[in-house]
Structure 1
């Protein structure tokens, strides 16, 4: 850590010099502007972002071992905040790599194909963060996940399968999850972006990251419940005895997320109490499987109960973030 002396300039302004190395690495020069924000006893300085700046990156297929590796690289560059990604096909076999590019485009929000030739594909992220702040994305994820829980329970009650519909909505949650991670990474790097995203304090970024990851995992388990219940219903098995516990799991999940959205932190303690009671109740359902005549059916039902148990655990994790939010940061 470097120290700098403060000087008086003109009798009314205080002046401090900037480290030369930081100025050069940031691409700044004399006459450029800095964004300054006071944070308690600290000052945050960063270059003023220009609206026309589009971070770009070129990926050469000759340096990427497999199509799967290209998929990981494209997602990583999207999450890192790149606006333009050029994929150069400098190898003879490029068909599978092109398929990966198209599949990734369908998994990421805002990614559009701007140019395509035999030599390269140019992707650009066309997304305005101001139209979709992070809290709005979180609410959207919650609404989809909530509807998934409700509809799976309704399908079990009616004895029908909605597996394709649930799989589609789970994919939508994955897209929103990637978008939030991209937003949070950019917010941590540039505070000017965090203000556009509606994030008042960058310490909240870590909490948002955990919340959306838990919602994404909950959606995965709801999809699993839909798939397994569909198979059991197809075989003529009724799962209506699980409806009471499913309604309670749904209630715990809704309470955990909505308490954070509404900043009703007192409600979070109810979530922990309900979660403890649900874990005990689920144990009873697990024990009832020993009386199931078919081992195969018992294992399928156990899979459903395992997923419901994980939903409760992830809901508790969301509530814990809410408790952390309720505690003010100490003043140093």
Structure 2
């Protein structure tokens, strides 16, 4: 790259090179810094805000190096791996100090669960080489978002069914699906970062306008957080076996929130601002229904009341994410 002291902005005049082409000169120092010489092929991409020029001769594999100290926890290392993944790195070299083999095994298992398209290529006592598979086909963000929401919707529905029901197998299934939601969210986040950086084209994620990238990231995060709350409800629900008639009040609120969230996501995918506005108009109505549900918990036995209020709080958070999605739809497509 050019030195920090050099100019990074230039004004040049376009020159006619024929009936269908224009030529624009660029500073020689800039060209040299990205490996472009006379006769070098370059990659051009027409963007909404200009034209991207990138050297085709220096397509180096984006690699990160992660140092794992003996005191590092699995969560700390996993966080560094996820950061590298989100940046769009294609390869990671994980270097280990004296690390317990069981810690490494736990780390690799967590990476496999959390990240899509990641493979352990080489492993030795001192280091491991992790590779992220390249995109071979289009991965439409809309379809990925719909898939993530379908999983969250199923989680929430099953979590509501668990209220007053001690089905341990169903609760475990909800927990497993939360990992799939996280994996899809991180993939969406990675693709958006790569599209922003220009390392993949917009058409590879089936978008036409770069301005859609940020709304998709915001909505993906709201859906992922909704999944977290569905998971929490699944953990608390079995403790509401003694909640009596109040179970009906919680479930009624829950299914209204589920319907609201489903409408909000569909409005975003369909760019339907009219539906988004109708959803936002329900904000006060849902707030009142939530307060009524909390009031009805006064008759719930003390050993269940705390869990009941936690469930209602999580339902309120999921509803808030639905309203956020509706607002994003209005902001992005009005």
TM interval, short-chain normalised: 0.7 to 0.9
SS in structure 2 opposite 1:46?
strand
Aligned partner (choices 96, 99, 102) of residue 93 of structure 1 = 99
Q: Map Cα deviations across residues 46-84 of structure 1 (whole Å, 9 max, x no partner).
A: 316689853222333359955443222111111111111
SS in structure 2 opposite 1:263?
coil
- Using the TM superposition, name which of 268-277 and 300-309 deviates more: 268-277
**Structure 2 residue aligned with 1:36:** 45
**Structure 1 residue aligned with 2:4:** none
- Normalising by structure 1, we get a TM-score of 0.87
Aligned partner (choices 217, 220, 226) of residue 218 of structure 1 = 226
How large is the Cα RMSD of the aligned pairs?
Answer: 2.7
| 1:119-138 map, 5 Å | 119-128=126-135, 130-138=137-145
- Give the distance between the partners of 1:101 and 1:159, measured in 2 at CA: 33
**Structure 2 residue aligned with 1:189:** 197
**Structure 1 residue aligned with 2:176:** 168
Q: Shift in Å at residue 257 of structure 1?
A: 0.2
Q: Shift in Å at residue 11 of structure 1?
A: 7.3
Q: Shift in Å at residue 21 of structure 1?
A: 4.3
Aligned partner (choices 72, 75, 88) of residue 79 of structure 2 = 72
Tell me whether 1:115 sits opposite 2:115 in the alignment: no
Aligned partner (choices 117, 142, 148) of residue 149 of structure 2 = 142
Q: Map Cα deviations across residues 251-295 of structure 1 (whole Å, 9 max, x no partner).
A: 10000001122232211122112332111111111222334452x
Whether the 8 Å CA contact 1:129–1:196 is kept in 2: the answer is no
Tell me whether 1:152 sits opposite 2:159 in the alignment: yes
Whether the 8 Å CA contact 2:88–2:194 is kept in 1: the answer is yes
Alpha carbons of structure 1 residues 98 and 230: separation in structure 2 relative to 1, 3 Å: same
- Using the TM superposition, name which of 175-184 and 56-65 deviates more: 56-65
- Give the distance between the partners of 2:122 and 2:30, measured in 1 at CA: 36
SS in structure 2 opposite 1:121?
strand
Q: Shift in Å at residue 232 of structure 1?
A: 2.0
SS in structure 1 opposite 2:137?
helix
SS in structure 2 opposite 1:200?
coil
- Give the distance between the partners of 2:323 and 2:55, measured in 1 at CA: 40
Q: Shift in Å at residue 200 of structure 1?
A: 1.3
Whether the 8 Å CA contact 2:120–2:128 is kept in 1: the answer is yes
- Give the distance between the partners of 1:259 and 1:206, measured in 2 at CA: 17
Aligned partner (choices 85, 102, 105) of residue 109 of structure 2 = 102
- Give the distance between the partners of 2:185 and 2:268, measured in 1 at CA: 17
Alpha carbons of structure 1 residues 229 and 253: separation in structure 2 relative to 1, 3 Å: same
| 1:278-293 map, 5 Å | 278-293=286-301
Aligned partner (choices 277, 283, 296) of residue 275 of structure 1 = 283
SS in structure 2 opposite 1:156?
coil
Unaligned ranges ≥5, structure 1: 328-332
| 1:49-64 map, 5 Å | 54-61=61-68
Q: Shift in Å at residue 192 of structure 1?
A: 4.3
- Give the distance between the partners of 1:11 and 1:216, measured in 2 at CA: 51
Aligned partner (choices 10, 20, 25) of residue 2 of structure 1 = 10
SS in structure 2 opposite 1:146?
helix
SS in structure 1 opposite 2:210?
coil
Q: Shift in Å at residue 25 of structure 1?
A: 3.7
- Normalising by structure 2, we get a TM-score of 0.86
